[in-house]
Amino acid sequence: MSETSLYTTDQEEEEEEEDVEGKIQLGPQCTLKEQWEKDKDDESLRRWKEQLLGSVDIHSVGETLDPEVKILSLAIKSPGRPDIFLPIPENGNPKGPWFTLKEGSRYSLKFTFEVSNNIVSGFKYTNTVWKTGIKVDSTKEMIGTFSPQLEPYTHEMPEETTPSGIFARGPYSARTKFLDDDNKCYLQINYTFDIRKDWHSAT
């Protein structure tokens, strides 16, 4: 959440809905095996597919149509501080404040995820923050398109700065989502967090 972020309105949500409704339909989705067999005589296209798919075993995952994305870990990084590792609850609703940030501090979110079954297209991260019922920040980051692989992917969000001052301190509520370009949601977390004058002490 950036210190310079302006208060947002419901217009952004309406624009997102319009984007979904107006999205160009590219035709039926294909399994990885079908994608691999398409245009196999085109040498340049074959090389592009090899680069995208890497060492994927087509025979083991190629019959599944829908991709699957699993978020393996979430952590908050801040210069000069140990990483804050965030447990991911099964129901997507952490109990109590999920984490505490110091006002005016720089931080970034880092996460790892794995992709299986098929290529996930337009994988993105969204986060909306409220304070006393008013939306104060909204973030949407396009992460990219990923093919299945054994090793997990790692992504770090751009660094931001928490707001500061007496009115910035206190509890916040937020909702984070990980989606693809079909708006399929792979993880939604509804949580609360605090901004305080100093970092939370574990002692």
Q: How confident is the model at residue 194 (pLDDT cuts 50, 70, 90)?
A: very high
* Amino acid, res. 71: I
pLDDT score for 5: 39
Determine which helix (DSSP H) or strand (DSSP E) holds 173, and give its type and residue range.
Answer: strand 170-179
CB 195 within 8 A of CB 162: yes
What radius of gyration, in Å, describes the C-alpha atoms of the chain?
A: 20
Q: How confident is the model at residue 199 (pLDDT cuts 50, 70, 90)?
A: confident
CB 129 within 8 A of CB 192: no
For 156-195, what is the HEC assignment? Answer: ECCCEECCCCCCCCEEEEEEEEEECCCCCEEEEEEEEEEE
pLDDT digit string, tens, across residues 70-114: 999 999 999 999 999 999 988 889 989 999 999 999 999 999 999
pLDDT digit string, tens, across residues 121-135: 999 999 999 999 999
The residue among 164, 145, 166 whose CA lies nearest residue 155 is: 145
Distance of alpha carbon 80 from alpha carbon 152, whole angstroms: 26
Q: How much of the chain exceeds pLDDT 70, in percent?
A: 67
DSSP 197: S
State yes or no: pLDDT of 202 exceeds 90. no
The residue among 156, 114, 140 whose CA lies nearest residue 20 is: 140
Domains and CATH numbers, the chain: 31-64 (no CATH), 66-203 (2.70.50.30)
pTM of the complete model: 0.73
* Amino acid, res. 78: S
pLDDT digit string, tens, across residues 40-74: 666 666 666 566 655 555 554 556 678 899 999 99
